[in-house]
Structure formats: structure tokens, C-alpha cells
Amino acid sequence: MFEDIKRNKAKTWMIVFMFLVFISLIIYYICMALDLGVVSIVIAMTFSILTTWVSYYYSDRIVLSLNRARVATKEENLKLVNILDALVVSSGLPCTPQLYIVEDEQPNAFATGRNPQNAVICVTTGLLDKLEYYELEGVIAHEMAHIKNYDIRLSAVVSVMVGFVVMLSDLFTRITFWGGGSSRDSDDSKGNAILMIIGLIFLILAPIFGKLMQLSISRKREFLADATAVEFTRNPEGLISALEKISGDHSELKVANKATENMYIVNPFRNKKKTSSLWSTHPSTEDRIDALRNIK
């Protein structure tokens, strides 16, 4: 587990650095296409540093806002609070995560935050209504495993950064459609041609690579979080039953979006396929349950 935590921290910083480079090149290309000249470098660096900083420090708030989550209260959600308090002890987390609620019929949950000290667990009202005590305990333990393993920081940062890249790609498409671009033939313009070509390549490929990275990270971390959750609860049947109920529920999660779908315990977009594929954000429920039943 400690090795996985170490790898997750290293991956996060690597992704932050790659994002900084990607955004700098993409913004530089867009600015040059708009004929902004030397100012392009200043704009590119300023924008890339700002978006990287926002993605790292405010990814949890962005995710909660996208999902329209509200703070849970002890008065309304006593069972949930009691489960969380008990699991904090068994998990050994240094701080108690904040609890948030999403008003939605589909049973689902996710965790976010940049570290255990700033962690958030968010569940839907459908999860609270449709799951029994030990099933709910298994789900909360799964999300706490993501927190302890530092999956939350990696997942939230990747989700927000991929969203930024897709947004910039859309901006470039609109600029191209509107006929933006420079017609200068000066030596200065030719000297920047290589950087502009590299920026264009990153602009086209970054959303694809970002999405693939988002998917692969999500699939791998779910198995580890399931196993870690069982360490906390000593009850694999609770999580198994919860996964069956969540994946078997066909309610629509209205606040779901492609940027954050990988963060949920089960993909909020219902898929009838029984097996995982390259484009799956999660392993299949059947594979996860088999893995849980084989835990010794």
C-alpha cells in the first residue's frame, strides 16, 4: 500500500508538470494563430501557471460544484456520520473527511480532495435510501481507501486538467471555424513555426491521451480501493452487495458528466457491457466482485 501511495504522489507531480507544458504550448499556438506575436509567450505562461495552480488547489471545489453537492449534517444523516466516524478509527486516517450529499435518485458515491487533511466523501441520496447499513459501510470504506491511497488527488487533478484541455481544444476549433489565423510571412513568424506545429499536435492529441490516462488510472485504482475497504470493514459481503445494487440500479444520475465519471464508485452512465474495455472508466462489476471473493 505504501508503494502505491508513493507512486500516486509521483504520478500527480508528473501529470502537473505535463499539464503545465501542454497548456503552455497550446495557448502559445492559439495566441500565434491570433497573431499576438511576442505577447503569446507571456499569455501562455501566465495562463498555464494559473490553470495548473487552480487545478491542484481547487480541484475538489470544482468537482463538488459540478455535482451540485451540499454539506451533510449530523441531524439529517446520523447513520452516515456514525459509519464515517467508526471507519476513521479502523482506517487510521489522520483526519475525518467532510461529508457531502448530492440530491439524486441513483445510488453512487465518490471521494475528492488533494490530501487526507482536505478530503471529501460525497454520496447521493439514492445511496442512502437504497443501501443497508453494511452495504453503505462498504461504500464509505471504499471511498476512504481512495483517500488513504492518495487516489483522490490524482483523480481530481486529472479530471479537472483533462476538462481544461478539452475546453481549449473546443476553443481552437471555434477559432479555426471563424477563420482565425496569421498570414504573416516574416522571419519571426517562420522562426516560431516549429513551436506552433508542436502546439498544434499537442492540441489535437492531448484530449485523447488525457482521456486514456484518466481511464487507465481509474480502472487500476478501483481494485486496490475495494481490497483496502475490506481491510477496514473485515466484511467483503457488504461491499459486494453494495456493488451489485449500485450497478443494477438503472436510475439516471442527472449531475453526471464525462469529466468526473471516473471518480464514482460505479460508472454513473449505465453500460450494459459485462466486460471492461480500453474506454471503460471502471473494471466490470463482475470482475470486482470476483476479486473481492478471492480475498483471503
Catalytic residues: 143
Task: Let me know how many helices (H) and strands (E) the chain has, helices first.
Answer: 10, 4
Query: Three-class SS of residue 255?
Result: coil
Inter-CA distances, 276 with 109, 151, 219, 245, 279, Å: 20, 20, 9, 19, 8
CA dist 111 and 144 (Å) reads 8
- Reading the block at residue 156, the C-alpha cell is 481530481
**Do strands 98-102 and 120-124 pair parallel, antiparallel, or not at all (unpaired)?**
parallel
- Reading the block at residue 199, the C-alpha cell is 502546439
Asked if 215 and 280 count as a contact pair (C-beta separation under 8 A), the reply is yes
CA dist 87 and 241 (Å) reads 18
Query: Three-class SS of residue 100?
Result: strand
Query: Phi-psi bin for 108: left (phi > 0), alpha (psi -120 to 50), beta?
Result: beta
CA dist 104 and 107 (Å) reads 8
Query: Three-class SS of residue 93?
Result: coil
Burial class (CB in 10 A: 0-12, 13-18, 19+), 55: buried
Cβ neighbors of 17 (< 8 A, separation 6 or more) are none
